[in-house]
Chains A and B, each alone.
Chain A
């Protein structure tokens, strides 16, 4: 069980987050929506463990994966190394299979800079799902893509989620995306921000 119990989070003097309590059950996808700048990414960083400067407590599993808005690849390592360096247990065969699932078969030896932005994001997605994580964190993974690419990424994410069923926190500003992927939507609002559950 993933358990988030944030009581408060400050940046300097300013309190950005108030009481934010929620759980994510195994296999459940929870979307976090709200206007930009409200603190969605801050919650994401606290859940991921990259921000430990807050009041409260978080229970998170060992194996986590993340898909950021930027692909965040290693530009100096080729496509297949981008998977095998992050997932040492995967092996070359496993990495090839993961690339195949996102439609990047045959691109193994290219560098990320030789891929289009859409392909880079698919590689980031493949990295997230390569070894099924216990918690998947997605931060606006479809933002600033053209409508057609965004739709293909959404469909791909849906199918990957359907096969691996990780517990997921999905941060977005787009209600339609949230409704399509998530089992439950949390809305962040107010100053300091607190949660309002919608569905």
Chain B
């Protein structure tokens, strides 16, 4: 117990040091550039950050982006897991859907976004559909691998004992998929928020992407950085407070 606590502490120290090192690199780069129009130093961001926080702009746009990310994430994970599971379990379904998967995997995000806006209109639905469609193929690919790696013996056991569908999903299928679901969620949330920003940049009047678009037109690098960094902080919190604890929980049986 003590050893693992010590190890956790030293892990945390490394994490903090590594982030500080990145900050130092930024300070040095800003010093060498010597032009706050191009790259302001991290300390120069404090004032605009406080200003945006005080007038409520930052929190409003942050909230809008978070809501879109959550919607797209939930939809992409839900549909992607279902699709990946079916394709991994049934060779016939896989043969039919695999070409679609390859096409959607290789369809540029921008094309899907533009088409969604053209077909559905410049609406919230179009924005979320565009992001979801962009992410589903990746989730499906990862989950399909997981479904293929499932233990056929456990399957036979479940069938012979006639374990019901819900029980089988909750206690036999999903625990086997857990590492694949975490991997998909990890890469998923990162990719989704990036695409959400593009969607907001192109066709929404709120959100971090919209604000970046605005300050891009004003050539205000400091504000672009303030908005981008704020959202990165939110994502780091999600990683540390949600994803990592959940991962530890589902891995508990391995360490026991």
Chain A residues, Cβ within 8 Å of B172: 74
A74 with B156: in contact, given A85-B163, A110-B256 (CB under 8 Å)? no
Complex contact A72–B253 (CB within 8 A) = no
Complex contact B160–A76 (CB within 8 A) = no
In the assembled complex, A32 has its CB within 8 A of some CB on chain B: no
Q: Convert A68-85 into 0s and 1s, putting 1 for each residue whose CB lies closer than 8 angstroms to a CB of B.
A: 101010111100010001
Complex contact B161–A66 (CB within 8 A) = yes
Total residue contacts A-B, CB cutoff 8 A: 59
- CA of A68 to CA of B155, assembled, Å: 12
CB neighbors of A among B164-222 (8 A):
167, 171-172, 175, 178
**Whole-angstrom distance from the CB of A54 to the nearest CB of chain B?**
16
Complex contact A68–B157 (CB within 8 A) = yes
Complex contact B160–A49 (CB within 8 A) = yes
**Whole-angstrom distance from the CB of B155 to the nearest CB of chain A?**
8
Chain A residues, Cβ within 8 Å of B153: 68, 70, 72
In the assembled complex, B159 has its CB within 8 A of some CB on chain A: yes
Complex contact A66–B157 (CB within 8 A) = yes
- CA of A76 to CA of B171, assembled, Å: 8
- CA of A62 to CA of B161, assembled, Å: 9
- A68, A85, A111: the one contacting B253 at CB < 8 Å is A111
Count of chain B residues with a beta carbon within 8 Å of a chain A beta carbon: 20
- Name the residue on B nearest A86 (C-beta): B161
In the assembled complex, B154 has its CB within 8 A of some CB on chain A: yes
In the assembled complex, A10 has its CB within 8 A of some CB on chain B: no
Q: Convert B219-256 into 0s and 1s, putting 1 for each residue whose CB lies closer than 8 angstroms to a CB of A.
A: 00000000000000000000000000000001001101
Complex contact B156–A45 (CB within 8 A) = yes
Complex contact B159–A49 (CB within 8 A) = yes
Max chain A Cβ within 10 angstroms of own Cβ: one of B159, B160, B178: B160
- CA of A169 to CA of B175, assembled, Å: 31
Chain B residues, Cβ within 8 Å of A45: 156
**Whole-angstrom distance from the CB of B125 to the nearest CB of chain A?**
38
In the assembled complex, B162 has its CB within 8 A of some CB on chain A: yes
Complex contact A113–B161 (CB within 8 A) = no
Complex contact A65–B256 (CB within 8 A) = no
Chain A residues, Cβ within 8 Å of B154: 72, 74
In the assembled complex, A50 has its CB within 8 A of some CB on chain B: yes
In the assembled complex, A114 has its CB within 8 A of some CB on chain B: yes
Complex contact A75–B253 (CB within 8 A) = yes
Chain A residues, Cβ within 8 Å of B163: 85-86
**Whole-angstrom distance from the CB of B169 to the nearest CB of chain A?**
12
**Whole-angstrom distance from the CB of A82 to the nearest CB of chain B?**
9
In the assembled complex, A137 has its CB within 8 A of some CB on chain B: yes
Chain B residues, Cβ within 8 Å of A50: 155-156, 159-160
Chain B residues, Cβ within 8 Å of A85: 163, 167, 171
Chain B residues, Cβ within 8 Å of A88: 167
Complex contact B171–A65 (CB within 8 A) = no
- CA of A50 to CA of B175, assembled, Å: 22
CB neighbors of B among A79-125 (8 A):
81, 85-88, 110-111, 113-114
Complex contact B175–A65 (CB within 8 A) = no
Chain A residues, Cβ within 8 Å of B175: 74, 76-77
25 examples of A-B residue contacts, CB within 8 angstroms: A48-B159, A49-B159, A50-B155, A50-B160, A62-B162, A64-B160, A65-B160, A65-B161, A66-B157, A66-B160, A68-B153, A68-B156, A70-B153, A72-B154, A72-B156, A74-B171, A74-B172, A74-B175, A76-B178, A85-B163, A85-B171, A87-B161, A88-B167, A114-B256, A137-B160
Contacts from A to B (Cβ < 8 Å): 45, 48-50, 62-66, 68, 70, 72, 74-77, 81, 85-88, 110-111, 113-114, 137
In addition to A65-B160, A65-B161, A86-B161, 14 A-B residue pairs with Cβ atoms within 8 Å of each other are A48-B156, A63-B162, A66-B160, A68-B153, A68-B157, A70-B153, A72-B151, A74-B154, A76-B171, A76-B175, A85-B167, A85-B171, A87-B161, A113-B256
